[in-house]
């Protein structure tokens, strides 16, 4: 799967992380990316960080200016309030720094396990498996796990995948899920791991 994606574009948050490994930018861009296409997230994040590159500046930013910067991400008005509130908590409670643990991040409004795991893994290099819809779907299709929710998949994969590969799981499977192992009619004819795939739940495929 990694080799298939070698020449392709990484998920938007991974692209942002590789540019500077700033946990703050990873956190905010991940919040913006929820239910939003990668190309929209990338552009919106760039506009926002152009005038609010730190928690301190975002915490003091005008709400309408944030909305204009991140439009047209999904639920942009709600997300504008969320990211400013996150920035304010970072500024007042953590001296502007993003916490290094999943548990601390889960205490922030709007931050779920997927977001928290992505931030600590990409921002701090802490081993964590970020399970989104692609990771959940593909790991079940392959027959690696038999789970009903992303949280269940996370715990199952932590037992199955060597710790040294935890950080890579999300980046590889998201890109693979967007291009090959798509939600509907996956492209099994070009899949490099088709022979090792149980195709659980796959009906129509290409």
Closest CA to 43 of 61, 60, 68: 68
Instruction: Output 7 or 40, whichever has higher pLDDT.
Output: 40
Q: What is the pLDDT of residues 141-162, one digit of tens each?
A: 999 999 999 999 999 999 999 9
**pLDDT range class, residue 15, cuts 50, 70, 90:** confident
Q: How far apart are CA 11 and CA 196, in angstroms?
A: 25
Q: How far apart are CA 130 and CA 169, in angstroms?
A: 7
CATH code, domain with 106: 1.10.340.30
Closest CA to 108 of 125, 83, 130, 126: 83
Looking at the fold, whether 74 and 18 belong to one and the same domain comes out as yes
CA separation, residue 119 to residues 12, 112, 143, 180, 202 (Å) = 13, 11, 28, 26, 32
Domain of residue 86: give its range: 12-124
Q: Is residue 202 part of a domain?
A: no
Question: Residue 9: pLDDT above 80?
Answer: no
What's the pLDDT score for residue 47? 97
Question: Residue 7: pLDDT above 70?
Answer: no
Report the domain count for the chain: 2
Single pTM value for the model: 0.89
**pLDDT range class, residue 110, cuts 50, 70, 90:** very high
Q: Is residue 4 part of a domain?
A: no
Q: Is residue 153 part of a domain?
A: yes
Question: Residue 3: pLDDT above 90?
Answer: no
Looking at the fold, whether 107 and 63 belong to one and the same domain comes out as yes
């Amino acid at each position: 799967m990694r080799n298939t994606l070698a020449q392709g574009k990484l998920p938007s948050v991974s692209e942002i992380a590789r540019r500077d490994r700033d946990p703050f930018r990873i956190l905010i861009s991940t919040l913006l990316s929820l239910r939003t296409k990668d190309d929209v997230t990338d552009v919106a994040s760039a506009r926002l960080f152009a005038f609010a590159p730190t928690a301190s500046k975002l915490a003091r930013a005008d709400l309408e200016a944030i909305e204009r910067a991140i439009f047209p991400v999904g639920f942009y008005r709600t997300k504008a309030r969320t990211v400013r509130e996150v920035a304010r908590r970072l500024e007042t409670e953590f001296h502007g720094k993003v916490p290094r643990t999943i548990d601390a991040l889960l205490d922030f409004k709007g931050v779920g396990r997927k977001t928290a795991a992505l931030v600590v893994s990409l921002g701090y290099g802490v081993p964590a498996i970020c399970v989104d819809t692609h990771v959940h779907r593909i790991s079940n299709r392959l027959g690696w796990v038999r789970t009903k929710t992303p949280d269940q998949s996370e715990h199952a994969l932590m037992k199955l995948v060597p710790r040294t590969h935890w950080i890579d799981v999300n980046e590889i499977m998201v890109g693979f899920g967007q291009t090959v192992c798509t939600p509907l009619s996956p492209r099994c004819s070009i899949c490099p791991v088709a022979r090792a795939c149980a195709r659980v739940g796959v009906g129509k495929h290409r």
